[in-house]
Amino acid sequence: MKKVLICLFASFTIFSLSAQTQLKADGRSDTYELINNMLAPGYDILAVPDCSHADFGKHIDQVFDQELNQYVFRFHAHSNEDNDECQHESQQRCEIKVTQQSPTSLLGAEKETITYTWKFKLGADFIPSKKFTYLHQLHALGGEDESTPLFALNAHKGTSDQLSLIYANGDRNSVLLTKELEPFKGTWISATETITFGEIGAYQIELKNVDTGDVLFSYKKEAIQTWKTDASCVCPSWGIFRSLDSEDEIKDEIVVYSDITVEKSDALSTFRKSIDRGDISIFPNPTSTKANIKGDLKDYDHVVLCDSFGKEIQHKVSLLTKTVDLSQLKNGIYFVVFKKDNKISSVKKILKL
């Protein structure tokens, strides 16, 4: 189901149009048809090991969940029988994914902002692989780095099991955040991930316990490269993708997912590309402390500073002194928004280094 919503970005008092697509189990439809029709109508975009384990049947099915009181998707991974679509025996993949055949509303393009939300539940006795067990990935399509995920949530075995956020810049992988895996087992987790794609982009993710509302995992970074060279788009995937390097230490697993949503913030993307009237300039830009506004401001009655996700930052812009104060803010991209009668008249991008 695809629909257009009206939403309000935090304290940023501008109504914006967003395109939202949600994949939701219904307990009635053929599971594979339901997923394909939503994520890539007319194509087969499931990465499942059915070919190597035909006796089991479909490795993604639907089941009613008593906690959420709704149908959800179950992803099955079998330690001995499954592989990666009969192509790679050293790993197993049971995933759903967005691909180049998907509608443009699901594809991440440079300078766009997309929010991905979903819920997932690991088994109470879940055991990750030593090397990697990806539960979610953002992949670039096209370019020399497309084989490496841009961002990935990776469960992996160690002295104690961990959940890590992996980031790849070129051929270099780095771990941005690691938490103990135990609090994520046996309970529903809600995930919210927002990314602005670009050479200088922005990224944030938050994982919460659905029952308690407790934040278990939170990371935010601005002025981070979120675009791969020569990429055509960036696409998400969800499911189980694990290494078989420690096959004797893993077991059959089920990971359950629900309410997978992709929301492209069209109005915010337009805002980032900016309405750039030439009657105003901001200098120095980049800056490490304060910047000055040069130009006649008689056509504007209000000026605000917003972060790269469109959230208004209070008390950082002065019309009286014509200054923008970024001295106490983190390095990253910001926007100076000039308004008249509470409507955007002009937007200027500024970089804090």
Q: What is the tens place of the pLDDT at every residue in 181-205?
A: 999 999 999 999 999 898 888 899 9
Is the domain of 306 the same as that of 229?
Answer: no
- The range of the structural domain enclosing residue 236 comes to 2-270
Tens digit of pLDDT for each residue in 91-121? 999 999 999 999 998 999 988 889 999 999 9
**Arithmetic mean of pLDDT over the chain:** 87
Is the domain of 18 the same as that of 32?
Answer: yes
Give pLDDT, residue 270.
53
Is the domain of 114 the same as that of 242?
Answer: yes
Tens digit of pLDDT for each residue in 204-246? 999 999 999 999 999 999 889 999 888 999 999 999 999 998 7
> Pick from 248, 270, 292: which residue ends a domain?
270
Residue 3 pLDDT exceeds 50: no
Is the domain of 245 the same as that of 286?
Answer: no
Is the domain of 251 the same as that of 311?
Answer: no
Residues 6+ apart with CB under 8 A from 108: 114, 138, 195, 197, 233, 234, 235
Give the whole-angstrom CA distance, residue 207 versus residue 180: 13
Domain of 223, CATH number, reads 2.60.120.200
Is the domain of 114 the same as that of 159?
Answer: yes
Give pLDDT, residue 296.
83
Is the domain of 328 the same as that of 344?
Answer: yes
Task: Give the pLDDT band (50/70/90) at residue 11.
Answer: very low
Tens digit of pLDDT for each residue in 50-85? 999 999 999 999 999 999 999 999 999 999 999 999
- Give the side-chain half-sphere CA count within 13 A for 264: 21
Is the domain of 56 the same as that of 189?
Answer: yes
**For the CA atoms of the chain, what is the radius of gyration?**
22
Give pLDDT, residue 15.
28
Q: What predicted TM-score, i.e. pTM, was given to this entire model? A: 0.77
Is the domain of 92 the same as that of 151?
Answer: yes
**Helix or strand (DSSP H, E) at 271:** helix 266-273
More confident residue, 265 or 306: 306
Is the domain of 149 the same as that of 214?
Answer: yes
> Pick from 242, 270, 298: which residue ends a domain?
270
> Pick from 224, 246, 270: which residue ends a domain?
270
- Domain total in the chain: 2
Measured on CA atoms in the order 316, 321, 324, 325, is the torsion positive or negative? Answer: negative
Is the domain of 244 the same as that of 266?
Answer: yes
Task: Give the pLDDT band (50/70/90) at residue 152.
Answer: very high
Is the domain of 42 the same as that of 154?
Answer: yes
